[in-house]
């Protein structure tokens, strides 16, 4: 039998007493909805990004950062988790670079531009793999005057540290989602969103490169996995990824990269 909402109301003040909240409203309303819900003293899971405004994001973290979590579903993707596990185990050697592609057609979210919708995904992937995010280094619009929907962005500290290069676009008729982690010993890749495997190649091209092999991963939907994690948290389990502070970090990077690209 189909299941639906137990009840519907038109205002946050009319919501019943519950164990927690999931906020799935337009991005531009996140700050106001979260501000209203924080008075309920309950955990909140909000769709990414935390907000599209840096000052609002900072205020939310100060007010209720321990109770707000951001739904960065790619951190729950089994393929991304497998890449992170290999990177953190040392199997890939020193992590030299991460390259992500998030290319597709149109932006169904009319309240904010494609950069706010696409870029947080890849920032959260890089954070899951590295455990940190390098500072914003550079960003350019790949189509003149279209930086709001086409961007190549680079995070990097120094020349010797890992570089994270992200390409996002809402003007590619054919979708592409991919993550490549390049290490000093081997490289690994999740080639597509719905792949049930990652590819691993040892060595370096032109030196001692081996033929790529693949490793199977779970194909359970990341959205289901992150919602399960939040429900388990409401039952006393560990906090879900990402924390409000991590969500703020992603907002900081998007804001800095937009500035570098002149958006």
In this structure, are 235 and 208 located in the same domain? no
Q: What was the pLDDT predicted at 2?
A: 59
pLDDT of 148-183, one tens digit each? 999 999 999 887 789 999 999 999 999 999 999 999
Task: Establish if 6 belongs to a structural domain.
Answer: no
Considering the domain architecture, whether residues 54 and 131 belong to the same structural domain is answered as no
Report whether 40 contacts 21 (CB < 8 A). Answer: yes
Q: Would you state the structure tokens that stand for residue 190, as one six-digit string? A: 């999740």
Phi, psi of 165 (to 5 degrees): -115, 125
pTM: 0.95
pLDDT digits (tens, 9 = 90+) for 88-126: 999 999 999 999 999 999 999 999 999 999 999 999 999
Supply the CATH number for residue 31's domain.
Answer: 3.40.50.720
Candidates 206, 116, 105, 108; CA nearest to 153 is 116
Do 77 and 50 lie in a common domain? no
Same domain, 234 and 104: no
User: Do 82 and 211 fall into the same domain?
Assistant: yes
User: Beta partners for 44?
Assistant: 21, 68
Same domain, 202 and 102: yes
pLDDT at 1: 46
For residue 80, give its domain range.
Answer: 73-220+256-261
Residue-averaged pLDDT of the chain? 94
DSSP state string for the chain: -----S---SSGGGPPP-S-EEE-S-GGGHHHHHHHHGGG---EEEESSS-S-HHHHHHHHHHHTTTEEEE-GGGG-HHHHHHHHHHHHTTT-SEEEEEEEEEEE--S-SSS-HHHHHHHHHHHHHHHHHSS-PPEEEEE-SSTT-TTTEEEEEE-SSTTSPEEEEEEESEEEEEEEEEEEEESSEEEEE-STT-SEEEEEES-TTTT----EEEE-----HHHHHHHHHHHHHTT-PPPSPBHHHHHHHHHHHHHHHHHHT-
């Amino acid at each position: 039998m189909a299941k639906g909402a137990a009840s519907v109301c038109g205002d946050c003040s009319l919501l019943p007493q519950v164990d927690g909240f999931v906020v799935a409203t337009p991005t531009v309303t996140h700050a106001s909805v979260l501000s209203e819900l924080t008075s309920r003293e309950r955990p909140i899971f909000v769709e990414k990004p935390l907000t599209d405004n840096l000052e609002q994001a900072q205020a939310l973290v100060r007010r209720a950062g321990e109770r707000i979590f951001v739904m960065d579903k790619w951190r729950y993707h089994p393929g991304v988790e497998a890449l992170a596990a290999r990177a953190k185990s040392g199997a890939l050697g020193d992590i030299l670079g991460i390259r992500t592609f998030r290319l597709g057609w149109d932006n169904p979210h009319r309240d904010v531009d494609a950069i706010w919708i696409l870029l947080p995904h890849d920032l959260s992937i890089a954070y899951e793999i590295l455990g940190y995010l390098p500072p914003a280094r550079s960003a350019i619009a790949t189509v003149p005057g279209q930086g709001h929907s086409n961007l190549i962005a680079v995070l990097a500290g120094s020349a010797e540290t890992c570089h994270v290069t992200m390409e996002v676009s809402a003007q590619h008729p054919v979708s592409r989602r991919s993550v490549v982690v390049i290490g000093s010993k081997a490289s690994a890749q999740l080639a597509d969103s719905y792949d049930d495997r990652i590819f691993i190649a040892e060595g370096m091209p032109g030196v001692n490169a081996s033929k790529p092999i693949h490793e199977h991963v779970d194909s359970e939907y990341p959205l289901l996995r992150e919602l399960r994690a939040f429900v388990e948290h409401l039952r006393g389990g560990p906090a879900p990824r990402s924390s409000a502070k991590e969500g703020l970090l992603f907002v900081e990077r998007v804001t800095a990269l937009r500035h570098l690209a002149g958006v």
